[in-house]
A = this chain, B = another copy of it.
Amino acid sequence: MRIVVLAGGIGGARFLRGLMSAAPDADITVIGNTGDDIHLFGLKVCPDLDTVMYTLGGGIHEEQGWGRADETFTVKEELAAYGVGPEWFGLGDRDFATHIVRTQMIGAGYPLSAVTEALCARWQPGVRLLPMTDDRVETHVLIDDPDAPGGVHDPDAPGGAGRKAVHFQEYWVRLRASVPAHAVVPVGADQAKPAPGVLEAIADADVVLFPPSNPVVSVGTILAVPGVREAIADAGIPVVGLSPIVGDAPVRGMADKVLAAVGVESTAAAVAKHYGSGLLDGWLVDTVDAGAVDEVEAAGIRCRAIPLMMTDLEATAAMAAEALKLAEEVRG
C-alpha cells in the first residue's frame, strides 16, 4: 500500500511512527511542511523536516519532541558571547551540523529536496521524505504592533495599521503565541511549485493521511502550494485526517491561536469542515468529541470517534490503523 502523509513537526512525526508500526509494509511518502523554515545565523533551518527525520531516524530528543538527543549548546553560547542572536531559538551543536550541511549543499546549488534526500541517507527514516516545495515559503503571522505606523492597534482600522508581520518561529517560539494572530500568511506560497516527486507521489498513492498536525501552519501550508490541494482532491483516493483538537483544545501546541486567525473554531468538527468535504473523505475525532460525529458527517465527511491521544507507540499505531480502516470504509 502506498500512503502519502502531509506532516508538520512533532505531531506528524509521532503519528508517522505509529503508522509505520501499524502498516510495516506500506510504502510511505511524507510531504513535509517547510513554511516554518527559517534562516538563523546565515544557516537554513528546516524544523519540521528535521523533526520527522530525527524522530524516524532515532536521533530525536524524545521528551522534548524536537532537536537532538544528548544535545549540547556550545556553539549557541559562543554566538551569544559575540552578541549574535536570536537566543530564543534553541539550536544545539548536533543540530547545527545538520544546518551546516544543508546550507553548504544549497549554496552549492542543490535544491532542498536533494539536500533532504542526502541528509536522510544518514538517518534512514524508513519513509521517503519530501519537502512540500524547493522554493522559499515563509509563514508570517500578523500581530499587533503599537510602534507600527498607525499607532495603537485599532481592530477597525483598515489594512495593517498598528500591526506587523513576524516570522512564524518568532510568533511561536519567541512569543509563544501569547498575542492574538490576526492573519497567517504563507509568504511565497503562491509562487511556489511542488517539489519533485510530490505530485507524483499523490497520483500514485492509495490513501492520503493528515496526521493530527496543525491544520493552519502545518497541513494548511502544504495545501497552500499551488497544485497540492488539487492533486489530493482529484486523486480519487481516500483522504483521511485525525483531529488535532480534542475537547475543544489542541492536544499539544497552540493550534487554537492560529485557527482563530483564519476564523475557525477550536473544535474537532470545525477543523474537519475547514478542510471540507471537497478534500477530506474521513475524519477521526477523539471519544470525548463523539458528539461531533454527526455534525462532521452532515458536512459530507465520514467520521468516527476513537481515542486520539498519542501517549505511546501502541496507542499511536491504533490511531493509524483506525485511519487506514476508515480509508477502506470510504473507498467502499
Where the two chains meet, the residues of A that have a C-beta atom closer than 8 Å to any C-beta of B are 41-43, 72, 74-79, 81-84, 93-94, 96-98, 100-101, 103-104, 107-108, 118-119, 121-122
Contacts of A75 in B (CB 8 A): 75, 93-94, 96-97, 100
* Contact between chains at B72 and A100 (CB < 8 Å): no
| Given A41-B100, A82-B118: 18 more A-B contacts, CB < 8 Å | A41-B101, A41-B104, A42-B104, A72-B74, A74-B74, A74-B97, A75-B96, A76-B97, A78-B93, A78-B94, A79-B101, A81-B97, A81-B122, A82-B97, A82-B122, A83-B121, A83-B122, A96-B96
**Minimum C-beta distance from A153 to chain B (A):** 32
8 Å CB contact of A43 from B76, B83, B100, B122 = B100
8 Å CB contact of A104 from B84, B96, B104 = B84
8 Å CB contact of A82 from B76, B101, B103 = B101
Contacts of A98 in B (CB 8 A): 78, 82
Chain A contact residues, majority secondary structure: helix
Count of this chain's copies in the oligomeric assembly:
2
CA distance A41 to B103 in the complex (A): 9
CA distance A121 to B75 in the complex (A): 18
Closest residue of chain B to A40 (Cβ to Cβ) is B104
Contacts of A74 in B (CB 8 A): 72, 74, 93-94, 97
Counting from the closest, the 3 A-B pairs by CB-CB distance are: A78-B97, A42-B104, A74-B93
CA distance A126 to B308 in the complex (A): 62
Contacts of A77 in B (CB 8 A): 97
**Minimum C-beta distance from A8 to chain B (A):** 24
CA distance A136 to B140 in the complex (A): 37
CA distance A130 to B100 in the complex (A): 27
Q: Report 15 cross-chain contacts, Cβ distance below 8 Å, ordered by A residue.
A: A41-B100, A42-B100, A42-B104, A43-B100, A74-B94, A74-B97, A75-B100, A77-B97, A78-B93, A78-B98, A79-B101, A82-B118, A84-B101, A84-B104, A93-B93
